[in-house]
Amino acid sequence: MRRFLPLLLAHATLVAQAPKVRPGASLDLAALTTGEIRASVEPLVVRRFALGVSLARWWGGQTPYYAVPLTTTVPLSSQFPAASFDLLHPAREYMVDLYGRVYPLSFASASPRHRITGYLGGSVGYHRRAFDQTFYPPCVLGADIVCPLAASPSSAPIPCCAPPLPPQTVRWINSGVEPGAEFGVRVIPWGDVFLELGGRARLITFSDPTGRFEEGQVASRLTLAVGLGW
């Protein structure tokens, strides 16, 4: 017993000096650079274990698709104004993840002046991906159809493509459960404000209509979050 007493005293001292894990909420700034908004909250903390939930939304752009190749005799800019391609955020992904973290005592700073602690975590989430793809019908050239953008008093009228039908939009929706893991370091520079720098990965369990990743792949990225504890 005497042999273990110094170890117990040292452990108690380290626990007292290590940064305390507190409930908090954070926003991932690194996710914003990839078109994703992710906010997390950890309302339940038991010693150095924490349970939380994160909500995220990703969005992306779109490329217009045509049923058949356009004619090469008339410039594309003369057939369709650029404004007809201005479709906002047709690709979307909604993510709700439940996660658990452990802040090991061995990953924490022993100095009260440096409030730094590392963490390891795992998650499971329900993800829903949607993609709107716009198809333009085949072009029909006609000599009696004059392009207003191309025609001018000094040039002869240029025939234009006239779509027989309006553009059609098709929506794909996939959803499923995906597990993930994360690791990083939490730094508390002042007061209740904290910064987190680490990495996040998830296993792709179903295909993505935008082609960003395929089933069975691992999607990973860096995280840089700022948060507030209470």
Whether residue 100 is contained in a domain is answered as yes
Kindly tell me if the per-residue pLDDT of 81 is higher than 70.
no
Whether residue 80 is contained in a domain is answered as yes
Whether residue 117 is contained in a domain is answered as yes
State pLDDT tens for residues 59-74.
876 544 444 444 444 4
pLDDT category at 83 given cuts 50, 70, 90 is very low
Query: Would you tell me how many other CB atoms lie within 10 Å of the CB of residue 1?
Result: 5
pLDDT score of 2 = 58
Mean pLDDT of the chain: 78
pLDDT category at 91 given cuts 50, 70, 90 is confident
Q: What is the pTM of this model?
A: 0.71
Distance of CA 170 to the CA centre of its chain: 23
Kindly tell me if the per-residue pLDDT of 8 is higher than 80.
no
Q: Between residues 146 and 98, which one has the greater pLDDT? A: 98
pLDDT score of 109 = 84
Tally of structural domains, the chain: 1
Whether residue 37 is contained in a domain is answered as yes
Kindly tell me if the per-residue pLDDT of 26 is higher than 60.
yes
Whether residue 211 is contained in a domain is answered as no
Q: Is 163 helix (H, G, I), strand (E, B) or coil?
A: coil
Q: Between residues 105 and 161, which one has the greater pLDDT? A: 105
Domain that holds residue 122: 17-185+217-229
pLDDT score of 19 = 79
CA-CA distance, 21 to 104, in Å (whole number)? 10
Whether residue 62 is contained in a domain is answered as yes
pLDDT score of 134 = 72
Percent residues over pLDDT 70 in the chain: 65
Whether residue 209 is contained in a domain is answered as no
State pLDDT tens for residues 122-159.
999 999 999 887 776 666 555 455 555 444 555 555 55
Q: For residue 113, give the nearest of 188, 56, 1, 180 by alpha carbon.
A: 188
Whether residue 9 is contained in a domain is answered as no
CA-CA distance, 97 to 124, in Å (whole number)? 6
Q: Tell the residue number behind the tokens 């909500």, with chain if given.
A: 55
CA-CA distance, 230 to 208, in Å (whole number)? 38
pLDDT score of 158 = 53
CA-CA distance, 121 to 198, in Å (whole number)? 11
156 Rama sector, left if φ>0, alpha if ψ -120 to 50, beta otherwise: beta
pLDDT category at 18 given cuts 50, 70, 90 is low
CA-CA distance, 19 to 47, in Å (whole number)? 11
